[in-house]
Amino acid sequence: MITQEIKTRVEKLKKTIDDYRYRYHVLDDPTVTDEIYDSLMEELRKLEKKYPELKTPDSPTQRIGGKPLNKFTKVKHRLKQWSLDDAFSLAELKDWEERNAKILAKTKLPADQYKKYKKELKNYTVEVKIDGLKIILEYEKGLLIQGATRGDGIIGEDVTENIKTIQSVPLQLRQPLTLTAVGECWLSNSELERLNAERRQRGEAELANSRNAAAGSIRQLNPRVAASRKLDSFIYDLNWLAPGQKISGREVKFPPTQIEELKFLEELGFKVNKNYTLCRGLTEVQKIYDDWKEKRNKQEYGIDGLVLKINSRELQQVLGYTGKSPRFAIAYKFPTEKVTTIIEDIKLQVGRTGVLTPVAILRPVRVAGSVVSRATLHNESEIRRKDIKIGDTVVIHKAGDVIPEVVEVIKKMRTGQEKKWQMPQKCPMCSGEVKKEKILDSKKKDSVDYYCNNPHCFAVEKEKLIHFVSRKGFNIEGLGEKIIEQLAAEGLIASPADIFYLKQGDLEPLERFAEKSAQNLVEAIEESKKIELPNFLFALGIRHLGEENSYLIAKEMFNENSPLYFKKHSLKKIENPTDLVRYFRDLNKEDLLQINGLGERMVESILRWFNDDKNLQALEKMERAGVRFVVENLIVQKKKNKNIQDKTFVLTGALQHLTREEMKKKIKELGGKISSSISKNTDYLLVGDKPGSKLEKAKKLGTKIITEDDFEKMV
């Protein structure tokens, strides 16, 4: 029988242990010794073992309670997890600032609001950029229910049991809120050294760097391995807050600035990196950058730059996102690590579009925490510009996971034995004819690209297959480059569509496969048949169409106000691969060029691809195999309201409960329309504090004037 005394003792133990954990792992202010902490934890374990009904998900004993997994399950993020654009110089930061100013100038905002936002445009929250692994934490009524990796930004992997082993991540928040928080998981330099010392003793390969070690730890199938590596965290983003939540009778609202958001996260019990500040202009940002550039290597955690975010959340919402990144934030990266080595040879790599890319074969050298032996040379024009020869001593650099690049040749090291490299006239893989095409590179310089002109080049087909199943495409687990090569060599697949017709019996006789592994791959292929539309567009490997614009086009297809809205083009739905053929064949170049971010070469390439009957046949084959699109996250669901639907609203003054942008979004979701100016067609003027001249004009026109409270009653 469980007495009240036992229940009270267990609750006291949980609360005390969690408080000690918070002080040690979050505040870095331990108040008891490890022996005292361990003794309390042992008592709690014994009581929970004796009275299992007292064991709860938020108990400190549950941090290392998960069983080893066979594999990680995929989970869909509540909101898309964006990646940041990078800047490597003050000049690039200024370009970013100017782009935002131009975007703001194009918005049709009231003069007073525009003036306010223009003033806030250069107020930046500056945070250090932790070189770790992004984690997404879901809490329900204050309880941690899921921890996930970023994945492709839409689908990640459920690593909840490993996240629980991170002592600085609270299992229970200090307030019973439902929310999503985002941060970085990292491994300290001292912990990396400890792990490598142990690995050296066991004769195992050392972990390359703290970032890779953190990523590898969080993806261990056995949570006890992750727990043994003493991971840490910093949380920096309140990604989502369930609306209408109250604490002590007061509604909890999203913090209005990034600075207040970080403070709010601290109050909830998260570990937030203290090195953040508000800067008024890029001059102040540069001073902080120069300071951190000197002291970043003296920290226990890796820092690869700064993150700038426009401080005002309202302004963040106005600026919005590109297909890939938030416009209101940017990573200001530190200079990349540079080392010298020798180019021992230059070989050609054949890409999925047939482009021939020269690659330098290097004398192996350690850079940015890992050993590299290859570096991209981009194209023949780049080799000529930098005067690169086989045998040259060169400077290479590498930033994070980016492919190493040759920066310059140290010509003083030349001996006269170096050899000039020439682009061959035949494809090195299939001996097909090589054609050249003039391009304008990223630095706005004329260059020439070379392509294999053989449409059946097996190197091109292999790269198309690898691209098709990649993480940003169909993301088929277990179908890596080696398996693709094996299946192609065995004649089991010749095109992407063939993948969906593989059977267990096709795979079991092959080397590397057994009954279970063959079954797992077939199941993974079956699961992949339901695919997000942006991922499908990317997987097709259309020339010039990358991840960012695949998402942008898919989003515009489901935007009622866009010229690309699919229902404007005689289609009732977009769910099958061949629907895309009917859709794109009904478009012309001008339709697509209306979308900011789509260039002429890309648009021509897209239309050419979908007007090719061979590609139609491939899509038909995928459709017969059961490939279907997932589009829910692209659709803005309208909650129709008869009092709001088809009514035109104008907003003025400062609102109390929602921001102006939030109110506009709510009106649109309910079927209403938004106008920036009062006219005879305006149904309602929604007024807040200190309304402007619109109020007087509304009175003259007899427009109905309502408050926020009136609007809520209408809803």
Q: Checking phi first, is residue 593 left (phi over 0); if not, alpha (psi -120 to 50) or beta?
A: alpha
Radius of gyration of the chain from Cα atoms?
Answer: 29
Percent of the chain with pLDDT over 70: 94
Task: Tell whether the model's pLDDT for residue 185 goes beyond 90.
Answer: yes
- Closest of 629, 612, 615 to residue 550, by C-alpha: 629
Residue 219 or 650, more confident: 650
Task: Tell whether the model's pLDDT for residue 388 goes beyond 90.
Answer: yes
Element (H, E) at 579: helix 577-585
Task: Tell whether the model's pLDDT for residue 600 goes beyond 60.
Answer: yes
Percent of the chain with pLDDT over 90: 41
Residue 293, helix vs strand vs coil:
helix
Average pLDDT over residues 599-605: 91
Query: Which residues are part of the catalytic machinery?
Result: 129
Dihedral sign from CA coordinates of 338, 344, 348, 352: negative
Superfamily of domain 337-445: Nucleic acid-binding proteins (2.40.50.140)
**Domain made up of 4-55: CATH architecture:** Orthogonal Bundle (1.10)
* CB of 299 closer than 8 Å to CB of 130: no
Write down the pLDDT at residue 68: 61
Residue 610 or 350, more confident: 610
Write down the pLDDT at residue 443: 45
Range from 134-138, 322-326, 366-370 carrying the lowest mean pLDDT: 366-370
Per-domain residue ranges of the chain:
4-55, 118-333, 337-445, 458-528, 531-634, 648-714
Give per-residue pLDDT as tens, 141-184.
999 999 999 988 888 899 999 999 999 999 999 999 999 999 99
Average pLDDT over residues 559-579: 88
- How far is it, in rounded angstroms, from Cα 397 to Cα 691? 56
Range from 447-456, 510-519, 556-565 carrying the lowest mean pLDDT: 447-456
Domain 648-714 coded CATH 3.40.50.10190: yes
- Give the model's confidence band at 444: pLDDT under 50 very low, under 70 low, under 90 confident, else very high: very low
Third-level CATH fold of 118-333: D-amino Acid Aminotransferase; Chain A, domain 1 (3.30.470)
3-state secondary structure 597-654: CCCHHHHHHHHHHHCCHHHHHHHHHHHHCCCEEECHHHCCCCCCCCCCCCCEEEEECE
Domain 458-528 coded CATH 3.30.70.890: no
- How far is it, in rounded angstroms, from Cα 177 to Cα 122? 32
C-alpha distance across the termini of the chain, in Å = 52
